[in-house]
Amino acid sequence: MSRLWEKGLPLDERVLRYTAGEDHLLDARLVPYDVRGSIAHAEMLADQDLISSDDCSAIRDGLNALNDSFAAGEWSIGLEDEDAHTALETRLTNAIGAAGGRLHLGRSRNDQVLTALRMYLRDAASDLTSRVTELRGSISSLSERQGDIELPGYTHMQHAMPSSVALWCGGFEEGFADACDGLRLVRKRINKNPLGSAAGYGTPGLPLDRDTTTKKLEFDSTQNPVTAAQLSRGKAESALLFEITLLMQDLSRMASDLLLFYTQEFAYVSLAAEVTTGSSIMPQKRNPDVLELLRASSATTQACLDESLMITAKLPSGYHRDLQRLKSPLFRAIDLAIDSVDIMAYVLEGLQFQADNIKLDDGIFATAEAYRLVREDGIPFRDAYRQVAKRYAK
């Protein structure tokens, strides 16, 4: 096995295990993106007469074949590969010969991984936006089914003013609309092409056309100057994690409400049997475990955001291997957000508010009574407030 940086010198197996870390496991999702980025790079090299058209065709066909065989489960990335990039180039060179060794001209593993990662993040943000849109649809359906049911509106955990299922749903639906907007805005940070910046200082003496790969890979712009590419690492990742954290906080608060509403003391809602679990000792229990895990999930995504911010907080400019550590919290948060959004949408499909169990305290209409006095008697609101307050003084 020859890794991209291999110089023929010995490497302690313990050092390989530590430096490779989880990359050989995490990078599976980056394979199709690295293939696409590598093909665009090869085509640009051919356009610039830096490799032959025959070599370019062999590289393109070889990489597409490797992508198909990877998707079919015919090979995987092992520790000896270290990461997706070595795994692909090694297998490509074994398959097509010397042409495979020409692919890396004009790039570093640093801009290579960043290019693949940004294409993945672009798709991940779009995918998550689509899933949140479906969740909004589930909330709207619940509102249409049961929106007229009255609910107490709470402040300080006390009945405060009258609300409804429609109002409860609407608050969360608007919050998730904000999440969609935020995820779309993150694209501006993500969608800059770093390819051709190499290790962060360009490729002196090579006539690369970076704008060509920008167009081929559907980036909005070419990242310039080349020193900005490595300096920007962690920014798009943290921006996406920030939006995910806000999204998950809304999910967590929705779960917290539903957990309260599901208690025997409230009994405002019922859950479909298939979304509840049981107790190992108490035969009667139907536990809302899924909602409890949803409530906890925002802590995980916030921790991922904090980890991402702290990794890059005091790094000097240029590339540093610390940046490899961004993948784990990033991927963990993305996967958790996708699973959580989908499961909440599923829970809401079988959720029913139990109107007969929902009682509103008489005092919940006090503010409306004060407003009535203002309208009908023309007295100042503060006087109406005090007049109504006397009725509830204890």
Could you give all domains of the chain from N- to C-terminal order, each with its CATH number? 13-101 (1.10.275.10), 109-357 (1.20.200.10), 362-391 (no CATH)
Rounded to whole angstroms, the Cα distance separating 198 from 112 reads 8
Q: 3-state class of 159 per DSSP?
A: strand
Q: 3-state class of 104 per DSSP?
A: coil
According to DSSP, residue 46 is labeled H
* The one catalytic residue among 53, 221, 279, 317: 279
Rounded to whole angstroms, the Cα distance separating 179 from 338 reads 13
Rounded to the nearest angstrom, the gap between the alpha carbon of residue 229 and the centroid of all alpha carbons in its chain is 22
Length of the chain: 394
User: Is 156 a residue of the active site?
Assistant: yes
Characterize 307-325 residue by residue with b for buried, 16 or more Cβ atoms within 10 angstroms of its Cβ, and e for exposed. bbbebbeeeeeebeeebbb
Pairing state between β 158-164 and 150-155:
antiparallel
Please list the pLDDT of the chain residue by residue as tens digits (394 residues): 454 544 444 567 777 777 667 778 899 999 999 999 999 999 999 999 999 999 999 999 999 999 999 999 999 999 888 889 999 999 999 999 999 999 999 999 999 999 999 999 999 999 999 999 999 999 999 999 999 999 999 999 999 999 999 999 999 999 999 999 999 999 999 999 999 999 999 999 999 999 999 999 999 999 999 999 999 999 999 999 999 999 999 999 999 999 999 999 999 999 999 999 988 899 889 999 999 999 999 999 999 999 999 999 999 999 999 999 999 999 999 999 999 999 999 999 999 999 999 999 999 999 999 999 999 999 999 999 999 999 887 6
In this structure, are residues 163 and 150 in contact, taking their beta carbons and an 8 Å threshold? yes
Q: Strand pairing partners for 164? A: 150
